[in-house]
Every structure is written in structure tokens, then in C-alpha cells.
Amino acid sequence: SKQMLPKVEAYHKRKLSDKFFCVYLDATYLPLRRETFEREAVYIAIGIKPNGHKEVIDYCIAPSENIEVWTEMLQNMKSRGLKQVELFLSDGVVGMKAALTRTYPKAHFQRCLVHVMRNICAKVRVDDREKIMNEFKQVHQQTNKEEATAVLHDFYTKWGKVYSHVIRSLN
């Protein structure tokens, strides 16, 4: 650990590329041993450069996921040279969109499709999950926006009466 600490510190201070096409932001909980053995949030930012190269931009560890840590991480990335991001993808952590707008006002934000689908599954009956997921996936398999919009509206019409809360959430 003592030998790695300077390398880890250098990694967190290194100059970053100035542009990424897309940046994924997410946190996961891992069991970590410190004074006790607790699960802590590992925040990670993974970027895709315009040439398609993927890179772990940065990561950090905190007791739990919250927007203050994300904001600090975003500001740190910007101060280290990351000036432009076209698209951020993240889960639905409260305050993320506002934090991104403050740090990268020209970037677009999209909720991660995997997280959206998990949220849908959590809000529908077990017997309907496979059917509703297969139909929802059709939206993202269309070749253009017009077709995707039509499929989405069909999805809303079919499931809106039974799962109005899901449709409101998607809107």
C-alpha cells in the first residue's frame, strides 16, 4: 500500500484530455476494510474520446453516494483539463443534472438506459416484466428518432392505463 500511494496520488493529479465525446458517471458499493469492514461508494467516471478510445477519467471513494462528492469530482476533472464533454450519462441521483449544468453548461445529459430499465422493472408486476422490457427495448432499437418516437407512443398507449406511474416517470 505504501508503494502504491504515490502512484494513486499522481493518477488523481494527472492532466486530463480536454475533450471527451461521452462520459459515464456511476457509483457502486464495495466492501472495504478500514477500521471496520463496511460497504463504501466507489465513484467512477469513464470517458469515450472522439476517436472511440475509452478511459477511466477518475474515481474516488466515499462512505455513500451524494451529489456533493459528484460535484467536487466534476470540478476537479475540469480543473485538471477536461474542458468539453458532449454527453454525460448517469443514474438518477438527485441533483446530478444541476451539477453537470453548473460545471459543463454546454453538455447534454441522458439518464442511463440500464438504470431506467431497472427502475421500470421495480415498478411493474413480476408477470409483466419480461413483456414490458422487451417492448421498451424496441424504442432504442429503432434506426431514427421518428420511428423511436412512434414506438414509444405505442408503448405509452399500451401500458399507460395499467402503469400510469411508470409512464409519468419516463416522461
The reported pLDDT for the residue numbered 79 is 97
- Whether residues 56 and 70 share a domain: the answer is yes
Per the prediction, the chain carries an average pLDDT of: 93
- Whether residues 55 and 134 share a domain: the answer is no
- Whether residues 83 and 40 share a domain: the answer is yes
Residue 98: all three cell numbers together: 444541476
- Whether residues 100 and 121 share a domain: the answer is no
Residue 27 pLDDT grade (very low, low, confident, very high; cuts 50, 70, 90): very high
Residue 106 pLDDT grade (very low, low, confident, very high; cuts 50, 70, 90): very high
- Whether residues 60 and 135 share a domain: the answer is no
Q: Mean pLDDT over residues 22-48, rounded?
A: 91
- Whether residues 12 and 50 share a domain: the answer is yes
- Whether residues 87 and 123 share a domain: the answer is no
| Backbone φ/ψ region at 156: left (φ over 0), alpha (ψ -120 to 50), beta | alpha
- Whether residues 29 and 78 share a domain: the answer is yes
Number of domains into which the chain is organized: 2
| CATH number of the domain to which 55 belongs | 3.30.420
- Whether residues 91 and 103 share a domain: the answer is yes
- Whether residues 90 and 20 share a domain: the answer is yes
Nearest residue to 171 (alpha-carbon basis) of 88, 23, 163: 163
- Whether residues 17 and 88 share a domain: the answer is yes
Domain span at 130: 114-170
> Taking CA 44 as the corner, what is the angle to CA 40 and CA 76, rounded to the nearest 5 degrees?
105
- Whether residues 129 and 145 share a domain: the answer is yes
